[in-house]
A and B are shown apart, each in its own frame.
Chain A
Amino acid sequence: MCLGIPGQIVELVDETKKLALVSVGGVKRTVNVACIVDDAHPASGLVGTWVLVHVGFAMSRIDAAEAEKTLALLEELGEVQAELQAMADGERA
Chain B
Amino acid sequence: MKFVDEFRDPTHAAALVREIGERVATLGRSPSRPLKIMEVCGGHTHSIFKYGIEQMLPPSIELVHGPGCPVCVLPVGRVDDAVKIAETPGVLFATYGDAIRVPGSRGSLLDAKAKGADVRTVYSPLDSLALARKNPDKRVVFFGLGFETTAPSTALTVLEAEASGVDNYFVFSNHITILPTIKAILDAPDLSIDGFIGPGHVTMVIGVAAYGFIADTYGKPFVIAGFEPLDVLQSLAMVVEQIARGEAKIENQYRRVVREGGNAVAQDAIERVFELRPHFEWRGLGTIEHSGLTFREPYARFDAEKAFAIRTVPVADPEQCQCGDVLKGVIKPWECKVFGTACTPAVPIGACMVSSEGACAAYYQYGRVSTSARAEARRELKVVR
Contacts and interface: CB of A to CB of B under 8 A. Distances in A.
B166 to A, nearest CB: 14
B81 interface: no
B41 interface: yes
B85 interface: no
B147 interface: yes
Contact of B11 (A25, A37, A78): A78
Contacts of B7: 70-71
Interface residues of A, number: 36
A8 B42 CA distance: 25
A56 B123 contact: yes
B309 interface: no
Nearest to A37: B265
B153 A63 contact: no
Contacts of A69: 255
B265 A81 contact: no
* Prevailing SS type, chain B contact patch: helix
Interface string B106-133: 0000000000000000011111000000
A6 B279 CA distance: 35
B204 A2 contact: no
B12 A56 contact: no
B201 A4 contact: yes
A11 to B, nearest CB: 17
15 contacts: A2-B146, A4-B201, A6-B1, A32-B153, A35-B269, A36-B265, A50-B2, A56-B153, A60-B204, A63-B255, A66-B255, A74-B234, A77-B12, A77-B15, A78-B15
A60 B124 contact: no
A50 B259 CA distance: 15
Interface in B54-94: 70-71
Contact of A1 (B3, B146, B234): B146
Interface of B: 1-4, 6-7, 9, 11-12, 15-16, 18-19, 41-43, 46, 70-71, 96-98, 123-127, 145-147, 149-150, 152-153, 156, 160, 201, 204-205, 227, 230-231, 234, 253, 255-259, 263-266, 269, 357
Interface in A14-58: 17, 25, 32, 34-38, 50, 52, 54-57
B312 to A, nearest CB: 22
A2 B149 contact: yes
Nearest to B150: A55
A72 to B, nearest CB: 11
A54 B253 contact: no
A86 to B, nearest CB: 14
Scoring B4, B231, B257 by chain A CB atoms within 10 A of each residue's CB, the highest score goes to B257
B226 to A, nearest CB: 8
Contacts of A56: 123-127, 153
A6 B153 contact: no
B126 A81 contact: no
Contacts of A66: 255-256
